[in-house]
Amino acid sequence: MSDLYRSALSARLAKLPLDLPPTSEDEDDLDPEMDAEDGDALGVLPGSGLGPPAAPARAKRTPRAPNPDFAPISGADFFADALQVAVPARKLDCRVYYTPPKSADGTVLVCHHGAGYGALSFAALAREVVGVSRGACGVLAVDARRHGTKLTEEGEEDADLSIGVLVDDFVGALEAVFPDPGAAPTLLLVGHSMGGAVVVRACPRLLEGKYRVSGVAVLDVVEGSAIEALPHMHSLLNARPDGFDSPEDAIEWHFKTKTIRNSHSARVSVPSIIVPAPAGSAHAYTWRTPLRSTAPYWTSWFTGLSDAFLAARTARLLLLAGTDRLDRPLMIAQMQGKFQMVVAAGVGHMLHEDDPTHVAEILLDFWRRNDRVRLPFKGIKGVGEA
């Protein structure tokens, strides 16, 4: 860990809980009209890839009325179809959101979300990708095990979220949606955070299965930074709210803490990551996937991620929300031109929700250079190809 990173990490931990919703003890001391953007932002640990940042636990209080400015928005406006896809080999029933490309020989961005999130975190991005590409690119997003609407055939989910299980689930879902590799569209794999670890390991499996994979894009996760951040995650999670009074309350929390900086996207994605709380709970809603329950699997997600990314036999893109995030293997490989790296400005860890238009442009530029442009000269490779 660099001295700069240590200093930044220490500063972030020391500043808890600035720029987060006040506890009931502090509410009377604050101007109710104060802008939620004032003060220093906590954000997430650099490159940690472990989901939303911490927030202070809320003391018991009278539930607030839902704020209509943060009312949920249906995902139906962002995808053409919402499907339940049976994966018999995995004993799973997967929720898949899909907008196909206009032509049979088009490309589909296949998206895997991060820990604690769901497939609808790609909703705003999906609409931008389809619109900007004029239908040449479609988007398919899959809910992971224990995330979103995804159950075992017996109705109870297997709790195992180790990397091997997640990769098997992801590949199985794609094989169910596109059973004939020869007739399947070209795939461009996109993974955010934990999802990046899944797609880079799924890439060789799909290529072995004769699927056409034009590229793999990893969004805001680096092995070195993620591993270094793990010891601090429990301290952060201790301060995270246990639940919310309503879906609107959950959406508002995500927006005002800058977990998701785009309220429109949050209104689509956040309702799917909470569930009604058990009877007798202090809150009406709680997390669908409590991040603390995923702790036994964090190391498996990120260990070996850099090597797996660099070994992918396709074009590679690393899209980050900050510059101080590359570990040594990636830094060397980036200097050697082995992958394309882009740093997005003005976004947080949920960069694809914060600025879906810009992220769509970056992904489509990557797609155009590595999929649609067919170089006629022998030995010429696309950007990022080994």
The rounded distance, in Å, linking the Cα atoms of 121 and 351 is 10
Reference 320, options 352, 350, 353, 342; nearest CA is 342
Average pLDDT over residues 134-140: 97
Q: Are 382 and 315 in contact (CB under 8 A)?
A: yes
% of the chain residues with pLDDT over 70: 77
Per-residue model confidence (pLDDT) at position 53 = 53
Reference 95, options 81, 108, 76; nearest CA is 81
The rounded distance, in Å, linking the Cα atoms of 105 and 107 is 7
16 within some domain:
no
Reference 190, options 316, 7, 372, 374; nearest CA is 316
| Nearby residues of 189 by Cβ (< 8 Å), 6 or more positions away | 110, 112, 199, 200, 202, 203, 206, 213, 215, 216, 217
**Is 80 exceeded by the pLDDT of residue 35?**
no
**Is 50 exceeded by the pLDDT of residue 45?**
no
Q: Write the single-letter amino acid at 369.
A: R
Reference 98, options 137, 72, 132; nearest CA is 137
81 within some domain:
yes
The rounded distance, in Å, linking the Cα atoms of 369 and 382 is 7
| DSSP β-ladder status, 315-320 and 213-219 | parallel
Quote the number of domains for the chain.
1
% of the chain residues with pLDDT over 90: 66
| Residue 74, domain extent | 1-8+37-374+381-386
| Cα dihedral 64, 118, 19, 226 sign | positive
Per-residue model confidence (pLDDT) at position 376 = 42
Average pLDDT over residues 218-222: 95
Helix-strand-coil split of the chain, %, nearest 5: 40, 15, 45
Per-residue model confidence (pLDDT) at position 385 = 56
Both tokens of 171, joined, read 């590949």
Q: Identify each DSSP E strand in the chain by its residue range.
A: 81-87, 92-99, 107-112, 137-142, 150-152, 186-192, 213-219, 243-244, 274-276, 285-287, 315-320, 340-343
DSSP bridge partners of 140: 98, 110
Any alpha helices (H) in 163-222, and if so which ranges?
163-177, 194-208
Angle in degrees, CA 234, 239, 240, rounded to 5 = 90
What are the pLDDT digits (tens) for 291-339?
A: 999 999 999 999 999 999 999 999 999 999 976 668 889 999 999 999 9
Give the Cβ contact number of residue 68 at 10 Å.
7
22 within some domain:
no
The rounded distance, in Å, linking the Cα atoms of 10 and 87 is 44
**Is 50 exceeded by the pLDDT of residue 218?**
yes
The rounded distance, in Å, linking the Cα atoms of 38 and 35 is 6
- Residues annotated catalytic, as ranges: 193, 220, 349
| CATH number of the domain bearing residue 103 | 3.40.50.1820
158 within some domain:
yes
Burial of 169 from C-beta contacts in 10 A (0-12 / 13-18 / 19+): buried
Per-residue model confidence (pLDDT) at position 17 = 31
Q: pLDDT-derived band of residue 52, with 50, 70 and 90 as boundaries?
A: low
Both tokens of 157, joined, read 């989910």
30 within some domain:
no
What are the pLDDT digits (tens) for 265-297?
A: 999 999 999 999 999 999 999 999 999 999 999
The rounded distance, in Å, linking the Cα atoms of 386 and 375 is 16
What are the pLDDT digits (tens) for 148-207?
A: 755 544 555 568 899 999 999 999 999 999 999 999 999 999 999 999 999 999 999 999
210 within some domain:
yes
28 within some domain:
no
Q: Which residue has the tokens 């049979």?
A: 104
**Cis status of the peptide bond prior to 17, with omega within 30 of 0:** yes
20 within some domain:
no
Q: Are 141 and 62 in contact (CB under 8 A)?
A: no
Reference 115, options 188, 196, 45; nearest CA is 196
Average pLDDT over residues 348-377: 85
| DSSP β-ladder status, 186-192 and 213-219 | parallel
Q: Are 12 and 235 in contact (CB under 8 A)?
A: no
Calculate the average pLDDT of the chain: 82
